[in-house]
Amino acid sequence: MTVPPSDDASNDTASRDTSATAATPPHEPAPGVDAHSVGRSADSTTAAPPSQSSGPTAGSLPPDTEEQADALVIPEPEPIPVWPGTPYPLGATYDGVGTNFSLFSEVAEAVDLCLIDRDGHERRIRLDEVDGYCWHCYLPNVGPGQFYGYRIHGPYEPVNGLRCDPSKLLLDPYGKAFHGDFDGDPSLFSYAMAAPESEGPADSDEAAHDESRADTPAADAPPVVPAEQSLRATGDPSSDDYETSSTTVARAHDPASAAADPQADVDASASNGADTESEAGGAVGDASVDTEEAAEPAVVTEPDETADAVVEDADTETLEKPDDDDTESSPSMPQLDSLGHTMLSVVINPYFDWQHDRSPRRPYHQTVIYEAHVKGMTATHPDIPESLRGTYAGLAHPVIIEHLKALGITAIELMPVHQFMQDFVLRDKGLRNYWGYNTFGFFAPHLEYASNPDQPAGAVTEFKAMVREFHNAGIEVILDVVYNHTAEGNHLGPTICFRGIDNGAYYRLVDGQPEMYMDYTGTGNSLNGRHPHTLQLIMDSLRYWVLEMHVDGFRFDLASTLARELHDVDRLSAFFDLVQQDPVVSQVKLIAEPWDIGEGGYQVGNFPPLWTEWNGKYRDTVRDYWRGEPATLGEFASRLTGSSDLYESTGRRPSASINFVIAHDGFTLRDLVSYNEKHNMANGEDNRDGESHNRSWNCGVEGPTDDPEVNELRARQQRNILATMFLSQGTPMLAHGDEIGRTQQGNNNVYCQDSPLSWMDWSLADKNSDLLEFTRKAIALRAKHPVFQRRRFFAGKPIRWGQDMLDIVWLTPSGEAMTTADWDSGFGKSLAVFLNGNGIAEKDERGEVISDDSFMICFNAHYEDIDFTLASERLGNEWEGVLDTRHPQGDSDIESAPCGSSVTIGARSLLVLRKLT
């Protein structure tokens, strides 16, 4: 539902006229009209000053009639009715009639809701209703497409952890959509940006922009802390004499501080790019409001530029308001208004036709996860229309869904799709934040992944449609979420949201040094999971994505950070308690990345029962085994059977282990077998970034080679790793592109490579069609046989029904059961495992006993062929080969191998045998 345009066409025309060409000065208002209600151009800093006489301006003709004279006056915009509203739900909530706005801040002394029109003009509404530190109001006839933000008035005392700065237009922490972009302007920062020593103050906006990127201050340089400011106001905001006229300037000077730079106004409409249809533009002040039910008109303020304001510097010396020419160099420089340089929050329409959508709700043991990047997955696909490449719609295109279904994928795990910020330092290097682990919009899908990013809130609808299409195909959608830090960075970062709203509530500050941030993530800050409102934000976000966006689960980036109550990781922390008791979040897939960079952060196996984990020990063990590291047999066997040593003691099942060998951070599968060393020079950090100990082996040559033997070995090693992963107990995860041999040319940290280096090259699907077919066969073998998808751990004991037979048997190449000496052998390269299809203890969903074929998997990580003897009649009389990694597509030439015979397992290969009799 959209808000209809105003019935008063003249008012609408007049409103649009306020963004007329800046070279035309506005006329003086008619008698009785407040000067501050007159519209002013968005780029008013370049406009001539208004005429101070009542006569005609120079170079203009006097009006012939009184009517013509009146027509020269731009009327005041329609007043906005403001109702009290409710403190909950937080954020902007449209109900079909109007929108409720609510924002939490415990430190705020006053809060302004700022409505921004599509030309970048701002109208401020002082929020007078406060309940439990939630500032709120309800605006009738304000609806979807309305741009908005907040200004927080309160103490700016960084040394005490307080960073309120009303010159910053702040985003809504509960914003469900955003519009525009951040441009790196100094106005995004709450401290003065140092100019180059060899040059004077910038003489143009472009020069100022170039010399003051967001992260340009040196890491060891302390920030220039702005002087404390005070204002002798022209009136009490609660009194009748206080200014109540509307503000239509692009960057209104804040009435609560001398905080705006008169030189800094820019054309906000050009920056915002908000040229939208009137029906989607969120028209405000609709004349159809029932005035009997409406409250008093909004208190919408613009400062009196002639007001007798004073600014106090750090030494409390009273100074006159600096002249325009002095603001760049003044030690008491007023803060710059960030409107026009920051993103804007957008009111969304929550209604969507889900067409009876239902989650597949596939159990973990039947799940095969595919980790993917929205853009990287689709950026080069020739069968996707160019306009849809790199978008949610492109990811939901039938060719992508068919590719995933043909593989046997049951869940797609998307790298961050919460709204994130581009890093200004990377941008200056010609790079971009590709991965997206720099989020701030925990309720909003990332705008750049929308096929029409200029359409306000279009990303929301497109994301929902994508989820619906995946569900129709039986594929679940899991989101990689980053609740451990935000894009605002450390004390030198920009003020765009949380920092300016309530710094101490949202962030972990250093004890005894609250101007600094605790950093368990390596990103500059850590969210404060100890504060109830931060916990509420996280939980509300999770519920929103489940209930409103229909996602099926979450993978938590650096999840150990969320578990830190004081300093140590606590598996009984408040966050886990909230998840455990939540009737919505507790019922979806919960996957932890069980580590962070803080002390004691590596917590594989230590998360509570509801949780599954990225099993880093599985990754390391499988890599070590296939590259020929000695003495890994015992741990290899444990990882192959579900890592009971990590999960059984906490009542979890094998599916708690998310088995992966490759993920987004590190080598691709092809690069893992092609490089010994990382090659990250393209990242611009002299190859210092990225993991140096990769447990990789290049098979004898570093990087690309024409040697056919090396290339054949590399292809076989890829098949070995894929087969091991899909035949292990647990929940397998395939990284996007590994099924077609994607390469990053040895770069193991492509976080900043939004380029063909990191995107999927779909031409490889034909070039490496054998690998693609092998991957399909391995996944199909797993999906068809419950013996590879056990819900419970192996008992290693005789089965109580039927034959006196173990559910699992470990064998040496000679066909004998493994002994302690065999496990401790330094050779440790070859073994076989028998999986008894009649030894599955659990029952199916209908309560029936599960019976399956029995299999023997023979592993040989040695550099020579080894003969395996099929010795025991108790295990099977006759066997056939079903998967052999020596063959490019996994075919086996073993049609029948009787008991007592030997089968040759090729050097560095794997063979799967199925019991016939």
Active site residues: 557, 593
Of 112, 122, 104, the closest CA to residue 150 belongs to: 112
Taking the C-alpha atoms of residue 475 and residue 630, their distance in angstroms, rounded to an integer, is 40
Taking the C-alpha atoms of residue 635 and residue 795, their distance in angstroms, rounded to an integer, is 17
Please provide the size of the chain in residues: 917
Taking the C-alpha atoms of residue 334 and residue 69, their distance in angstroms, rounded to an integer, is 38
Cis peptide preceding 89, ω within 30 of 0: yes
Query: What DSSP designation does 81 have?
Result: B
Torsion 83-84-90-95 (CA) sign:
negative
3-state secondary structure at position 205: helix
Torsion 131-132-136-138 (CA) sign:
negative
DSSP string, 753-798: --STTTS--TTHHHHTHHHHHHHHHHHHHHHH-GGGS-SS----SB
Of 343, 443, 347, the closest CA to residue 145 belongs to: 347
Q: Calculate the CA dihedral of residues 43, 48, 50, 55 and round it to 10 degrees.
A: -140
| CB burial of residue 63 (10 Å; 0-12, 13-18, 19+) | middle
Q: How far, CA to CA in Å, does 674 sit from each of 292, 301, 355, 720, 741?
A: 75, 64, 47, 15, 11
- Show the CA angle centred on residue 721, arms to residues 720 and 726, nearest 5°: 100
Contact 883, 777 (CB under 8 A): yes
Cβ–Cβ contacts within 10 Å for residue 340, how many? Answer: 27
What are 284's two structure tokens?
């405000």
Residue 672 β-bridge partners: none
Q: How far from the centroid of its chain's Cα atoms is residue 664's Cα?
A: 14
Query: What DSSP designation does 898 have?
Result: E
- Show the CA angle centred on residue 796, arms to residues 790 and 801, nearest 5°: 80
What are 203's two structure tokens?
């003489």
Contact 174, 346 (CB under 8 A): no
Pairing of strands 98-104, 91-94: antiparallel
Q: How far from the centroid of its chain's Cα atoms is residue 601's Cα?
A: 21
| CB burial of residue 895 (10 Å; 0-12, 13-18, 19+) | exposed
Q: How far, CA to CA in Å, does 637 sit from each of 347, 492, 642, 724, 827?
A: 54, 49, 9, 11, 15
Of 689, 696, 688, the closest CA to residue 667 belongs to: 696
DSSP string, 45-70: GGSPPPPSSSSPPTTSPPPSSHHHHH
* Host H or E run for residue 660: none
